[in-house]
Structure 1
Amino acid sequence: MAENQPTEPDYTLNNPDTLTKYKTAAQISHKVLEAVAALCLEGEKIVEICQKGDKLLDEEIAKVYKGKKITKGISHPTTISPSSYVTPYTPLVSDAAEAETTLKAGEIIKIQLGAQIDGFGTIVCDMLVISKKDAPKEPVTGREADLIVATHYANELLLRLMTPPGLLAQGSDEEKQKAAKQKAPTQAHISALLEKVAKAYDCNVVENTTSWLFDRNEIEGEKKIILAPGNGVRGDGVPEVGEVWGVEVGLSLGSGKVKTLDHRATLHRRTTTTYILKRPSSRQTLSEIVKKFGTFPFSLRQLDDEKAAKVGVVECVRGGVLRQYEPAGDADNAPVSRLLTTIAITKNGITKLAAANAPDLSQFKTDKKIEDEEILKILEQPLARSTGNKKNKNKKKKATGGEE
């Protein structure tokens, strides 16, 4: 009988357990991000920092939901992208030349990683400027400062543009209804506003920078927002209450155009395609991938035998069972930035689940600023409803120049 059939688990944000799992994964992502950032010093090898980052992720993930029959693991391996690299980068120990890649003073690097609990993944990306070894940390100046400040404001703007219309409206019921009837900004309008922020700091948005809807076991859902889309590329969908998104912003000191780098693709992800693999080595590699990573991205260096994995993935990629992420960089070899924030959209607004810490803007010296009134007005808007904390209210009034 129908009433005896087991009910489908509720994996939406309506289930408090779902949000708890996202938040637990986010706490791990934050903790490891801070630890990895502390390891990023001039002269250090990128591959060694990535290995340490993944080890820390595994250790922190092992501490939560002990004894529970749920999957948990890394939702994105530790990657460290040098200055002009657009995509996440994680070299292999067995590729001798790339394994020697070290961090250079003055370059802007991007650190990306993430954890997942029960298929609810959070990913975070932050950027930092590598300081000179054994030298005191000094304020960032010049074009690098322009880039980082521009990226901070572009990110804050994009997050506010993702808030569903009318969700945080104040005033009478009539005013709230009127606000709710407003249409969400089109992706073309979102892209145009982000370009204005970039131009204020003499930067460009990196083409095809994509934010994705996240779902259980899925970090590239049906909806996506594409900034500065290339020819024949378009986003699809509007953010709604009850959704989790990975929101990405990337700017460039060059044209923003992207080129494929002459490096091995070391990041892969399993697809939903089924294909009968002919080689035993391919089947063995895929079996390990399914067991360890499910449908989340992974690096070949995370597999038991890196050299065997390099051979085993070839047929998997050819048969469409695995997708490989092609390494890409700025077409002009100019410095690029990237921030990635995992957010939850609830009835109270936007919650940053996994996000880079807000930069201390006093440490970035730029003579440029945003003057566009529409953008300044949006940036003043809150991301979520006030919790009613008086101290926070006073802080906000001070920040926006309101009366005490």
Structure 2
Amino acid sequence: MAAAKLETTPEVMTDPVFTKYCMAGDIANRVMLFVIGNCKAGKPVLELSIEGDKLILEETDKIFRKEKSLKKGIAFPTSLSVNHCACNYNPSPDSDKGINLKDGDVVKIDLGVHIDGYIATIAHTIVVGISPENKVSGRKADVILAAFYASEILQRLIKPGGQNFNITEKITLSASEFNTLPIEGIISHDMEQNRMLGEKRIIQNPGEALRKEYKKCSFVENEVYNVDVLFTTGEGKLKQSDMKPTIFRRTESAYKLKLQTARVFTNEVTTKFGNMPFTMRAIEDLKSARMGVTECVNHQVMEPYDVMFDKEGEFVAQFKYTVILRPSGNYKITGIPFDCSLYESEFSIKNEELVGYLSQSTSGKKNKKKKKGKTNEIGSEKEEKNSEISQGDDKQTIESSNSTK
């Protein structure tokens, strides 16, 4: 039923809505570049997470100041998962001082921003210490290139009229080109205002359990998708860490909590974050919150984001972005340039169908009509031009990399 609603209400993607999405995406991209620029040997992961979140709040605080009731800020707390740690690693200073980065670490940086509930997510993988003089090779290069190319192929397949089942097949094929595997159970969703997890799903590797409930769906104009790709050099199945989760999300459960600490905690979360994921670091009384969160999780009032690992010695890569299916063409609002030339792999994309997808342009038609008057909207002609340049750089890098293999 939700899909029918989306198909019959294309007016939800009005210009103000599109502008808010683009503003959130612009901030997310800039924060990602800031965090990447500070991923250096010896830097504590905890410090980077705190700095990333702080910058999101600072940047979102600068906009829509006159609209006091408009919510904005973090849609997913800045998280850095290293090497075989796949996702959701966000150390809490009172219980886990975290780790310090080392040269050669494979780091997945994951964060999200929202403006008025319109969400822009991004994840990017880097290797600490990488440079033109210090390129990455071996299994690290294999898995990072595989995940990157798969994410690019998805951008060309998620378009009006396309179907999720077809994309799942292409993800598996992309991973096999580099002798890697898509991690089981990773899901890309459609998104709506104040809702990160929509009804439509693209499961990159359903596995036996999810395959039974995997429903076919088609993509429709004006939908927004959180596209998430995680590949591994391992067997494709992750294990839950014994680390206590530090990221949670308020659910729609109406269960009446019995503990006072749980009620106070839930009220604070609802007021400050709504149903956006948050880190426990952002709670004022962390000690009381830790006592209350257990009851919240046990009764599905809060959903934890477990820290997930592959086997030690394996490597996991992630690329995530937000794309809007505009009538003029797909518009990717998050994602930063990726230089394939810094990664040397014995593998490459050889499948003709996949090569064909990568050769396709990702740029939609832009409205070149100039707007009169002063504007600070990210969706303005100036920002659209910047987006064209960024997308063009990515396309050129892809084609250059393929031509040399």
Q: Which amino acid aligns with 1:364?
A: Y
Task: Say if 1:298 and 1:371 are closer, same or farther in 2 by CA, change over 3 A.
Answer: same
Structure 1 segment 62-77 matched on structure 2, within 5 A = 62-68=61-67, 69-77=69-77
Contact 1:13 1:19 in 2 (8 A): no
Give the Cα separation in 2 of the matches to 1:11 and 1:283: 38
Contact 2:338 2:397 in 1 (8 A): no
- 318, 328, 344: which is aligned to 1:348? 328
Greater CA deviation, 39-48 or 392-401? 392-401
Contact 1:42 1:104 in 2 (8 A): yes
How far 1:253 sits from its partner (Å)?
Answer: 0.9
User: Deviation string for 1:163-217 (max 9, x for gaps)?
Assistant: 224xxxxxxxxxxxxxxxxxx3451x32222222211111111111210111110
Are 2:228 and 1:248 equivalent residues in the alignment?
Answer: yes
Structure 1 match to 2:107: 109
Contact 2:231 2:317 in 1 (8 A): yes
Structure 1 match to 2:129: 131
Task: Say if 1:61 and 1:385 are closer, same or farther in 2 by CA, change over 3 A.
Answer: closer
Structure 2 match to 1:174: none
User: Deviation string for 1:39-72 (max 9, x for gaps)?
Assistant: 2111221111111111111111110101113111
Q: Which amino acid aligns with 1:118?
A: D
Structure 1 match to 2:116: 118
Structure 2 match to 1:159: 155
Task: Say if 1:103 and 1:384 are closer, same or farther in 2 by CA, change over 3 A.
Answer: same
SS at match of 2:170: helix
How far 1:116 sits from its partner (Å)?
Answer: 0.8
Task: Say if 1:265 and 1:333 are closer, same or farther in 2 by CA, change over 3 A.
Answer: farther
Structure 2 match to 1:312: 292
Q: Which amino acid aligns with 2:357?
A: I
- 298, 301, 306: which is aligned to 2:281? 301
Structure 2 match to 1:209: 186
SS at match of 2:208: coil
Would you say how many aligned residue pairs link Structure 1 and Structure 2?
367
Task: Say if 1:291 and 1:333 are closer, same or farther in 2 by CA, change over 3 A.
Answer: farther
Gaps (5+ residues) in structure 2? 1-8, 369-387, 401-405
How far 1:145 sits from its partner (Å)?
Answer: 1.4
Gaps (5+ residues) in structure 1? 1-9, 166-183
How far 1:313 sits from its partner (Å)?
Answer: 0.9
Give the Cα separation in 1 of the matches to 2:108 and 2:249: 20
Give the Cα separation in 2 of the matches to 1:369 and 1:117: 39
Are 2:141 and 1:142 equivalent residues in the alignment?
Answer: no
Contact 2:24 2:115 in 1 (8 A): yes
Contact 1:254 1:332 in 2 (8 A): no
How far 1:383 sits from its partner (Å)?
Answer: 2.3
Structure 1 segment 1-400 matched on structure 2, within 5 A = 12-68=11-67, 69-95=69-95, 98-131=96-129, 138-165=134-161, 184-187=162-165, 189-234=166-211, 235-236=214-215, 237-331=217-311, 333-355=313-335, 357-387=336-366
Contact 1:121 1:219 in 2 (8 A): yes
How far 1:136 sits from its partner (Å)?
Answer: 8.6
Give the Cα separation in 1 of the matches to 2:36 and 2:49: 11
SS at match of 2:236: coil
Task: Say if 1:387 and 1:290 are closer, same or farther in 2 by CA, change over 3 A.
Answer: closer
Give the TM-score of the pair, scaled to structure 2: 0.85
Q: Which amino acid aligns with 2:341?
A: S
Give the TM-score of the pair, scaled to structure 1: 0.85
Q: Which amino acid aligns with 1:376?
A: V
Task: Say if 1:381 and 1:117 are closer, same or farther in 2 by CA, change over 3 A.
Answer: same
User: Deviation string for 1:308-358 (max 9, x for gaps)?
Assistant: 221121111112111111221114651101111011001122111112x23
User: Deviation string for 1:99-137 (max 9, x for gaps)?
Assistant: 1422122121111111111111111111110128xx996
SS at match of 1:250: strand
Contact 1:43 1:103 in 2 (8 A): yes
SS at match of 2:210: coil
SS at match of 1:40: coil
Q: Which amino acid aligns with 1:18?
A: V
After the TM superposition, which segments of 4 or more aligned residues of structure 1 sit over 3 Å from their partners?
A: 10-14, 384-389, 391-401
Greater CA deviation, 262-271 or 235-244? 235-244
Greater CA deviation, 150-159 or 229-238? 229-238
Contact 1:163 1:383 in 2 (8 A): no
How far 1:11 sits from its partner (Å)?
Answer: 9.4
SS at match of 1:338: strand
How much identity, in percent, do the aligned residues show? Answer: 30
Give the Cα separation in 2 of the matches to 1:375 and 1:273: 43
